Structure 1
Amino acid sequence: MAATWTLEDDMSCPVCCDVFTDPVVLGCSHSFCRSCLDNYWNTQVIKKCPVCRLHSQTDAPPSNLALRNIVETFARERSHNTTKQEETRKGEKESQGRRESGGRSGLVRDGDERCSLHGKRLLLFCVEDQEALCAVCQTSRRHKSHQLCPVDEAAQELKEEVKASIIPLRRKLETFQKLKEDCMKTAEHIKSQAMQTERKIRDEFVELRHFLCLEEVVRLSALSEEVEMKTVIMTEKIEHLAKKMTSLTSNIREIEQDIEANDLPFLQAYKNNKARANCTLQDPEPVSGALIDVAQHLGNLRFKIWEKMQEKVQYTPVTLDPNTAAPWLSLSDDLTSVCVSGEKSHIPNNPERCDTCVCVLGADPFSSGSHCWEVEVAGKTRWDLGVLRKSVCRKGVLSVNPVHGFWALSLRDGGQYSACTVPWTRLTLKRRPRRVRVCLDYDAGEVTFYDPTDMSLIYTFRDKFKEPLLPYLCPCVSDSGRNAEPLKICPAKVSLLHDVGDCHVLTLVRGHFL
């Protein structure tokens, strides 16, 4: 009740002590009912303010529009006061409890704030200064020409404005939330990638160790066989020499005995001893090649094993990068072939990945020199092959042509081959190649496609490359299984050429494809 009395007191005319009716304001900032002021001035010789007695500068004071709006709002609230009295009492009891428990926090009920200058309730809002005013503040010079409105109207309007300003923040929050979720998925994918990669590395080294173990067994067996063979040879030689030595020792002993005998027995045995002393045995010769051929077993041992390992190890000039593959693609374990899988994989949409176009890129960029690789395309009805700029945006639909950083060859339904120019250039081939050779001469600015069967030219792009290029493979959609075959990077044959000149040089050549 005290709050209602205070509000009504603020809304009362100083003359009639009733709620303002058509209020007007004087230059001294005091407000009165228009009729009350007219009646008062009719009894006075000089038009003065009924409160402060200052002379009025005008006979027709202006209406106090802001105060009139407040009075009308107050009147509407008072008309509903009867139905709200019980709610007010209940609210006061609850507020009392809140003040006792949380008053120290500085919270104040709506409608209880008062002007720090005049002690009046804050019922108006200045749009220009963005601050709440009391009935006295609104008549001051500072706010005289400002746009004012009731607090409830201003609050409602500004709440809508703030709500609208929150929308971009919510969108930004959603962006952060989505990126956080993507990062969490990426973290999980990293763990999965690590486990799979570790397993494949272990499998590869198990196979290599198995190969090396077998090779060790073979080479140790060869050494053991040579040791056994040469040991037998030396044993037989030793036995043969021992027999000859025994025979010679016996002859020497008998001859020496006859020499020690008396003269007559010596002379009688002389002829026989002379014959035995003239030994016809040839001098023994040392055994040639008796030692272990250490050079054969240890010479270039690692190189020979590596050379033999080529039968099991293949070299591919291009390795596909799984972090660039579209979610609908499946790559082989050795990262040399790609095909369209049956369903979309749940993998991170990282910046390097192609998200719409079903393509994959090579792992190693080319920024100089000449490079060549062959791709097996047999059994496919659609594909794209070539190179692209490393900086090409990989999101959304890709425009495959040199203007957008692609130098590629294409096959579409019906066996139509095209060079991806602007517009695409249709090509006529004398046969349908099972393989396509892609040759990049970065320094010369050329990308050339051949049919490796007879090295017939398919098409050559000529341009000036200014940044690294990556191999580009697009197996296209499966077309209900008609285009399900993979695109496969063909392995290259590794050869060793021995150049004999002033120096002996080993040159590694990777130009032949299997």
Structure 2
Amino acid sequence: MMGECVDGAVVEAGKCSEHGKKLVYFCKGEKLRVCSKCAIVGSHQGHSVVPVEEALGELKDLLSARSKDLESKSLEQSLRLEEIDRNVTTAKEEIEMLQHQVGNDFAALRNFLDAEEKALMEEIAAEAQGTLEELDRLKSECLQRMGSLKRLAEPLNSTLQTDNLREILKVLNTTSDGSDCCETMNDPIIRFKGERFHSPLQYRVWKKMFQVIQTVAEPFTFDPLTAHPYLEVSTNQRSVTPRCEALPVAYADDRFDTSLCVLGNEPLSTGKRYWEVSVRNSAKWDLGVAYSSIPRHGDLMYKPSRGIWCLTLREGCIYQACDELDIELHIQHKPSRIGIYVDYEGGVVLFLNAETMQMIHVFRASFTEQLLPLYSPCIVEKSSNEQRLTIFKLIL
């Protein structure tokens, strides 16, 4: 019968080599089976010793707990794998949709440009054909007159060689001075009117291109009825400036009374919208969108969970995306104009450097309420003009 190693000695299975007793106890510290004498007076005296049956139960409990832990971790990885597979499927669908959209958008632009080029080429060809045909007609008439005048001049030239008075008078009386064949010789000589095609062609076509562009910078406005008393909204409602003193405005439920904010007039509840805000050289501002139901009284918390998706600037160089935990953004070139793009159904709020059209940050969300643009030029510190926010209007 195979033996068991206990304290370095090989013994019969279930018996202690030193004391000859059954190994009915288990030393937890050295993880060995021992007899009662080993536990009381032997080498395992003072160790944590328990009956084998109890140790077996504890070890099985440990195995069971470890097995459940591994099973739980395996389940976590299975769920993670399922989420990865879902994201793969979603990513493929979004990529396919985006590629289709980009293809359609560029196809529309190409079709527009091709149609503009074709129409302009046809217009040039028609103008050229009409001009050249008219010049050919004038040239043909001119050649005919030259032939007629030459024929009239021939008898005159030959008569110049004689001194016969009668002959000279005869020729003068029988020949014409050519005025009859030159009655239309003063018809205006037209020229090709190319100057009508010499305008700034690309700029002209670019302006016409807006008829096929679905999303362009819109001239949004500020809602003065929501503006904090320390904010002055311009008459055309396209600029807002912080003041050192409060304006004498009426209290209203819609007006901010603590946060130095103002909302836009334009609700966003469907489709895609884009607008640009000129921030000039301002050292601080807040820009974004918010649910129209956000509180107007008390401090605002710029967080998506509070219905606000916002980008901020502080100290002229610290840009932050206000997520549940603020995200500091590293921007190399300070933009003087910020573009804000909202795709309501797509759940996107995108901030851009409007001069380079480079992305600054994007929020993903599932909107459940009407959105409104949110602005804050922050508390005035130096020249208020430096902190003015102005909605950019595209001049077409």
**TM-score, reference length from structure 2:** 0.51
Change (3 A) 1:472 1:512: closer
Alignment-derived partner of residue 304 in structure 1: 204
Alignment-derived partner of residue 328 in structure 2: none
Distance in 1 separating the partners of 2:171 and 2:100 = 85
Alignment-derived partner of residue 154 in structure 1: 55
Alignment-derived partner of residue 13 in structure 2: 121
1:421 aligns with 2:298: yes
Distance in 2 separating the partners of 1:195 and 1:378 = 25
Which consecutive residues of structure 2, in runs of 5 or more, have no partner in the other structure?
A: 15-22, 219-261, 271-286, 302-308, 324-339, 345-366, 374-390
CA RMSD, Structure 1 to Structure 2 (Å): 4.9
Alignment-derived partner of residue 18 in structure 2: none
Partner of 2:11, secondary structure, is coil
Distance in 2 separating the partners of 1:186 and 1:439 = 26
Partner of 1:143, secondary structure, is coil
Comparing both chains, which one has the higher relative contact order based on Cα–Cα distances under 8 Å and sequence gaps of 6 or more? 2
Change (3 A) 1:469 1:144: closer
- Equivalent residues of 1:121, 1:134 under 8 A apart: no
Change (3 A) 1:512 1:126: same
Change (3 A) 1:137 1:191: same
Change (3 A) 1:488 1:372: closer
For residues 440-487 of structure 1, what are the alpha-carbon distances to aligned partners after superposition, in whole Å with 9 as ceiling and x for unaligned?
995699xxxxxxxxxxxxxxxxxx986235879899xxxxxxxx9984
Alignment-derived partner of residue 151 in structure 2: 250
Alignment-derived partner of residue 190 in structure 1: 91
Alignment-derived partner of residue 321 in structure 2: 468
Task: Choose the corresponding residue for 1:410, options 282, 287, 292.
Answer: 292
Distance in 1 separating the partners of 2:43 and 2:170 = 159
Alignment of 1:153-302 (within 5 A): 153-260=54-161, 262-264=162-164, 267-271=165-169, 290-291=191-192, 293=194, 295-297=195-197, 299-302=199-202
AA partner of residue 119 (structure 1): V
Aligned-residue offset at 1:316: 4.6
Distance in 2 separating the partners of 1:488 and 1:423 = 16
AA partner of residue 184 (structure 1): D
AA partner of residue 78 (structure 2): Q
Partner of 1:119, secondary structure, is strand
Change (3 A) 1:284 1:144: same
Task: Choose the corresponding residue for 1:376, options 261, 264, 267.
Answer: 267
Regions of 4+ moved over 4 Å: 134-141, 271-289, 371-374, 405-409, 438-445, 469-475, 484-490
For residues 68-88 of structure 1, what are the alpha-carbon distances to aligned partners after superposition, in whole Å with 9 as ceiling and x for unaligned?
xxxxxxxxxxxxxxxxxxxxx
Aligned-residue offset at 1:305: 1.4
Change (3 A) 1:273 1:118: same
Which consecutive residues of structure 1, in runs of 5 or more, have no partner in the other structure?
A: 4-107, 319-370, 380-404, 412-416, 425-437, 446-463, 476-483, 491-508
Partner of 2:160, secondary structure, is helix
For residues 130-157 of structure 1, what are the alpha-carbon distances to aligned partners after superposition, in whole Å with 9 as ceiling and x for unaligned?
2233577546643122232333331211
Change (3 A) 1:191 1:311: same
Change (3 A) 1:184 1:120: same
Distance in 1 separating the partners of 2:211 and 2:295 = 38
Distance in 2 separating the partners of 1:468 and 1:304 = 38
Aligned-residue offset at 1:439: 11
Aligned-residue offset at 1:258: 1.9
Which has more radius of gyration? 1
Alignment-derived partner of residue 393 in structure 2: 511
For residues 147-195 of structure 1, what are the alpha-carbon distances to aligned partners after superposition, in whole Å with 9 as ceiling and x for unaligned?
3233333121122133234444433332222112111111111111111
- Equivalent residues of 1:114, 1:121 under 8 A apart: no
Identity %: 17
Distance in 2 separating the partners of 1:249 and 1:311 = 61
- Equivalent residues of 2:26, 2:34 under 8 A apart: yes
For residues 353-379 of structure 1, what are the alpha-carbon distances to aligned partners after superposition, in whole Å with 9 as ceiling and x for unaligned?
xxxxxxxxxxxxxxxxxx996532689
Aligned-residue offset at 1:211: 1.9
Change (3 A) 1:120 1:259: same
AA partner of residue 467 (structure 1): Q
AA partner of residue 65 (structure 2): A
**TM-score, reference length from structure 1:** 0.41
Change (3 A) 1:310 1:245: same
- Equivalent residues of 1:120, 1:135 under 8 A apart: no
Distance in 1 separating the partners of 2:288 and 2:136 = 76
Distance in 1 separating the partners of 2:372 and 2:170 = 90
Partner of 2:266, secondary structure, is strand
- Equivalent residues of 1:125, 1:154 under 8 A apart: yes
Partner of 1:132, secondary structure, is strand
Change (3 A) 1:229 1:422: same
Change (3 A) 1:192 1:290: same
Aligned-residue offset at 1:285: 7.7
